[in-house]
Structure 1
Amino acid sequence: MSLQLSQKERMLLEDQKHQEEICVQKYKSFAEHAKDQELKNLLNKLASEEQHHYDMVNQMLQGQAPDMSHKQQGGQSNQSSTSNQQTGFHGAMSNQSDEVLCSDLLATEKYVSSTYDTTVFEAANPVVRQAVQHIQQDEQRHGQELFDYMNSHGMYEVK
């Protein structure tokens, strides 16, 4: 199936492609700098999902219906093991460093999700709209996973 994009859809998708490229770069870079192995694993998983989003947007820009299936790499664990608990001065410093990475990524996910909101409302093509809604739901899930990690590691307290 060949997609015909309006000028506005093309412009919005180009913007989203750029945002996805930034997300992939941030997640990969931040995974390398994360101190906690659990966080490294989460960020690498999310980098893979962001790459899939980039690929989907690129497919649409090339006039193709996007492949929305994405094979997950391994399972996701929301549990933190005792070996992942950080203690003492070095643990506190690691936790503080990882908190900065997580806070930045959570802010990024909030922003990217909001930009997809505009694209959903401006997409005239139903295939584009459905794909963008799918990506936006993933972005919101990414934010939830980051929040859950932060909350479970004392980085984000809900009062």
Structure 2
Amino acid sequence: MQIQLTQKERMLLEDGKKQENLCAKKYQSYANQVQGPQLKNLLMEIVQEEQHHYNMINQILQGVQPDMTQKPINITTEAHTTFQGPSPKDQILLEDLLSTEKYVSGFYDTAVFEAADPNVRQALQHIQQDEQAHGEKLFNYMHSHGMYDIK
């Protein structure tokens, strides 16, 4: 089934594609900078999910029903025996990523409401739920390592 996009849908999808590309690059860059293997694995997992979102949006822009299934990935980095916990720099990177996820989730909230095609709307809702899950993973990591105090 060929998806016919409105001009507004196409514009929002192009913006979403740029956001997903930026997110994947940002997560990849930050994964290369963090200290601990657990955090590195978390960020690399999200890199793969952001790339999947980018691919889904590309499929929609090509008029194709997107494949919303993502193949499970197994990413492991070698444990560092001298790892002492997240650094202050890790906290800054995680705060930036959490802020990014909040922004991107809000972007998709608007895009969902602007989608005329039910298949596009469903794909955007799927991506938004993933983005919210990314934020939850980041929050949980930060909270469990004393970087996010919930008084």
User: What is the TM-score with the length of structure 2 in the denominator?
Assistant: 0.93
Q: What residue number does 1:55 align with?
A: 55
Q: Is the 8 A contact 1:36 1:84 kept in 2?
A: no
Counterpart among 108, 118, 123 of residue 126 in structure 1:
118
Q: What residue number does 2:143 align with?
A: 151
Question: What is the CA–CA distance in structure 2 between the aligned matches of 1:51 and 1:34, rounded to whole Å?
Answer: 20
User: Aligned runs of 1:79-118 on 2, under 5 Å?
Assistant: 86=84, 94-118=86-110
User: Could you list the per-position Cα deviations for residues 74-105 of structure 1 after superposition, in whole angstroms to 9, with x for gaps in the alignment?
Assistant: 38xxxxxxx6872xxxx5xx520110110000
User: Could you list the per-position Cα deviations for residues 47-89 of structure 1 after superposition, in whole angstroms to 9, with x for gaps in the alignment?
Assistant: 00000000000100011000000012138xxxxxxx6872xxx
Unaligned runs of 5+ in 1: 76-82
More helix by share: 1
Q: Is the 8 A contact 1:21 1:51 kept in 2?
A: yes
Q: What percentage of residue pairs aligned between the two structures are identical?
A: 60
Unaligned runs of 5+ in 2: 76-80
Q: What residue number does 2:72 align with?
A: 72
RMSD: 1.8
One-letter amino acid of the counterpart of residue 156, structure 1: Y
Equivalent residue pairs, number: 148
User: Could you list the per-position Cα deviations for residues 18-58 of structure 1 after superposition, in whole angstroms to 9, with x for gaps in the alignment?
Assistant: 00000000000000001111110000000000000000001
Structure 1 residue ranges, 4+ long, deviating more than 3 angstroms after superposition: none
Question: What is the CA–CA distance in structure 1 between the aligned matches of 2:82 and 2:37, rounded to whole Å?
Answer: 7
User: What is the TM-score with the length of structure 1 in the denominator?
Assistant: 0.88
Question: What is the CA–CA distance in structure 2 between the aligned matches of 1:114 and 1:72, rounded to whole Å?
Answer: 26
